[in-house]
Amino acid sequence: MKKNPTFPARRIFLLSLFVIGLGGLFVRSVYLQLFEHEFLEEEGKARHLRVVEIPAHRGMILDRNGELLAVSTPIYSVWANPLEALQSHKAIRNAALILNMNADSLIIKLQGKKDRQFLYVKRHITPQQADKLKRLNSEGIHLQREYRRYYPTAEVSSHLLGFTDIDDKGLEGIELAYEQWLRGQPGAKKVIKDSYNRIVEDVEAMKIPEPGKDIVLSIDRRIQYLAYRELKANHSKHRAKAASAVLIDARTGEVLAMANTPAFNPNNRKGYNRGTYRNRAVTDVYEPGSTIKPFTIASALESQRYSQNTIIDTSPGEYQIGEFTIRDHKNYGALSVSDIILKSSNVGATKIAQTIPAQELWSTFSAIGIGHSTECGFPGEVSGHLKYFQDWRKVEQATMSYGYGMSMTSLQLARSYAVLASGGRLLPISMLRKSAKELAEVSKIPAIFSPQTIDKVVSMLTDVVSDAGTGSLAAIPGYSVAGKTGTVRKSSKGGYEEDKYISMFAGMAPASDPKLVLVVMVNQPNRGVYYGGEVAAPIFSKIMGGALRILNISPDRVPLQANVEQSQNHAG
């Protein structure tokens, strides 16, 4: 039997080569570790070291009492490395089921983005979905912590606060107006990521995130709730197109409430069109109608051509200027200046305005803010319109005396009435709570009207809210109220629309020492009644009455029965 040949020399040679190779590798590894360690580490980091952004917390929005109006809360979003995720279609389908997404559509989306390492799958998921995805622990599907804005008052303050986008950037309202203040400065850190774009190690904090600054508004959340509740109830009752209410502090110019209907929920804006988002109290203008008559009368009193008791003949209830006829609701006959306000006579206001130089009347309207922005800082605020007096025709001077031919917002009208409530000063309007320094500056503002004129006009407006006036439904038990009704036809390109009206009431309380000014506007009520005294005045009564009680403002008109009981107690 033939034996297989052996080659001991070949074996020894191959074994020697193997040992030498191992030795070379060992020496090389020792050399690299000892002498090239830093170089190799930097090369590795260069391939896997990344700078990632650290999101910053957006500032909170608070009411004047520190109550929360808007806050950013931590939330998770889902992202994927498409190439990694596509290795397991089962994991994708499980994730899609948790996220309420179509699995096939998600797979197609990932396949179309295979060249990318990062792709958002779904932004801002619920905490329950995040917990399920964590337990799923699927390859290629990851969670990223972000922030989402939350509004505790929901639709109550929606037009005022506005909202942010999915990246927590202000888009509307206060959120947009104070974006630079509220938004934080994101930080940055160096991390090491693996080949699947996952963070495996935090290396270095490069920039600490700076949270946004908080903002304290002048708004009182309690009064805001009240205003919105009453607006919403009456908006439905009168089937109106829209409604607004603005309440301001007559001593400081701070806005305590600003509500609109219909509203929207900023926490879930699905189903709303963009037009719903606008704050009508500062963006929508209308002719103020009879609510302007007190300022026409104030201008007449300031000119010293008239007194409260000056008699104006309004017969036969209409007045002709060229081809234009100005009418009252009926023939009031001879009226005093006070009665012109009480009865809301267009003819009386016109006859007075015709005797006042156009420049004087224009100066009064301009001085109370008509045609000028309130500069409250709200995005989209409009200035309204007041034609320059040199361009007035005779009929325009007449119609402006009772609020036609000019336009203003609800906020502007409230500011104008604050002139009467504050002793004649045009207050700077603020949606932020004013500092002590700012409040001190208010007293330095010069008065537009004399104290005597203010007292007389406020007295006339108090009569309007009596049983004999057009605003009797604005009365508040225990408080004196001064105010004026307004009812105007809606204007259109071709003139004025038939059977479409805007109802208003503007006023202040307590009339003896005004603390609050409120304007209520109802756009196009459709229940058969449309006069400001019937539609807007009752809303005014409820909002103003509630606000006075919330702020603990003492009643200035004690009911007669209480006076009798008090006298009996003293006699006993």
Strand order in the sheet with 187-193: 49-54, 187-193, 199-207
Q: How far is CA 142 from the centre of its chain?
A: 36
DSSP letter assigned to residue 474: G
| φ, ψ (nearest 5 deg) of residue 393 | -90, 170
Largest CA distance in the chain: 151
- Would residue 290 show up in a list of annotated catalytic residues for this protein? yes
Of 77, 290, 338, 430, the active-site residue reads: 290
CA–CA gap between residue 474 and residue 545 (Å, rounded): 9
Spacing of C-alpha 268 from chain mean position: 16
d(CA 216, CA 61): 6
For residue 325, CA distances in Å to 328, 335, 349, 387, 496 come to: 10, 19, 14, 21, 15
- Which residues are registered as beta bridge partners of 318? 327
- Written as six digits, the tokens of 151 are 């509004």
Nearest to 79 by CA among 201, 202, 198, 203: 198
User: Which amino acid appears at position 19 of this protein?
Assistant: V
393 in Cβ contact with 420 (< 8 Å): no
> Cβ distance 255 to 247 under 8 Å?
yes
| Backbone angle region of 202, left / alpha / beta, with phi > 0 → left and psi within -120 to 50 → alpha | beta
Catalytic positions, please? Answer: 290
